[in-house]
Structure 1
């Protein structure tokens, strides 16, 4: 076993056909079983595994380092300096992937490792740039499934994706897409939005989805909201356009209200009472604050991007290869 700490290529190493990128967070109990299963797959052209520890608070660091030293296939282990989020970890993993194709998958064993072979061959032999997986039945909690459906509906509106395409984190992409996606250096990546900016040659494949093997989902409502915000404010101007339409709608309502008051004063009893006035004031104020909030979100993200907020700081890279006689 040759093991070094480096971010560059190793001498005399061959380029694998497939890189499997796995962001690791609270995955100490499952990542070993997943890597062992992936190492046993028969992938034409060979594979490598890229593990990205995204500031996991459990024992994932020690487990991943041990896997890099003992796995039967080449493993690259990347340690983030802190937790940056799943999409940031995927971006880091893709930058360290050397394969002609890359598959991204979670560390929780809900995606059966044997489906990796089908997904890779479907993408390669079908001539696709990207293949997304879909599930006949998802084994997530009801609120998580609802959040995923909401995010996909929002994506239908905000990014240029084929209508009805399910955006799964279990996906395969070609080197063309990998290189295009990793050009983005901003602090708010949304991998699927970046993919849609690179290609529309997209396929789908239905795969099995298993119950979570250990623990519970790392996605909380807060994390899902942050993901939606990245989608909404980094890949579309639609929120700003909706703010314009909201302002026009409120202006129209105000104009109709003014005409009603004038007509009522000229031909009937002058309007009395402060309640209706307060309702109108509060309604208009709410619309103004919504618009200011949308503009402020764009400005804040522009400010942070201009200040070069990091997408992810890498603490260490451990790249290991398997000698030819051990393969």
Structure 2
């Protein structure tokens, strides 16, 4: 931030020196003056439009036009030195205004981009979402369109401005109650409201939150966030096995996602301590078939249609890339077979 302020001060000082320089000199008639004045006026209009921009979709076009205008100005021959003091004063005052606009435009557009470059991607995304909030909110309130409410809600949620997210997503659901993103995000905000306010969550609010999140997962089961938030919600209600299944599916849908790592670790620890079959499975099978049997390097055991006898044969004798486990004790083998059959029935 300090570096940006210093840089702006240097730019402003240099601009002021350059535009006030005509006060000390006179200039003969400039044959390119009409075209120069036209380009300067166009440049000023573009800078003003960038400074007060409400629709971010227009920014690339305005910046492109501003760049073309500056390039055309640079292509003109330098204005001759000297001339009438009155004209010089006029040019100087105009230049001061341009310098001010340039400084403000830099502060509102270029400087934040320099600052964002030094942030982590997640932090940069959050800052960008905060900067977009006012224009997105205004657009949604002006149009009342579902897409605009979703865009506003998404930026508010991503920037942790949760009160605005609730308002935006709530309005979106009034227009269409079957929107997975709005359902699951409102659900998780309701479920975690106690952490934000320091007040305990009422039972009816917890049930309402669970319904919203489950509905979103049913509407969009293949969206990673649906399974992620479903897993978080289920873990809060003590449904550890179902939570682990949802989070494992999230990891399958988004292999680069790391948001659930800590919860998955905690769930595995709890389940393995309480269930000897899961503990045995975790030590011998989970590395290939996933901690909840949903598949990984190996196929999904939950989707398997093999009989108990066939499953036993694969475990004891191996098959394809699957290694054999001929030394399993009969009791351990039965525990594994019971677990695999239970998973088959759940699907």
TM-score range, shorter chain: under 0.3
User: Does 1 or 2 have the higher relative contact order (CA < 8 Å, sep 6+)?
Assistant: 1
TM-score (norm 2): 0.26
Higher helix share: 2
TM-score (norm 1): 0.27
Higher strand share: 1
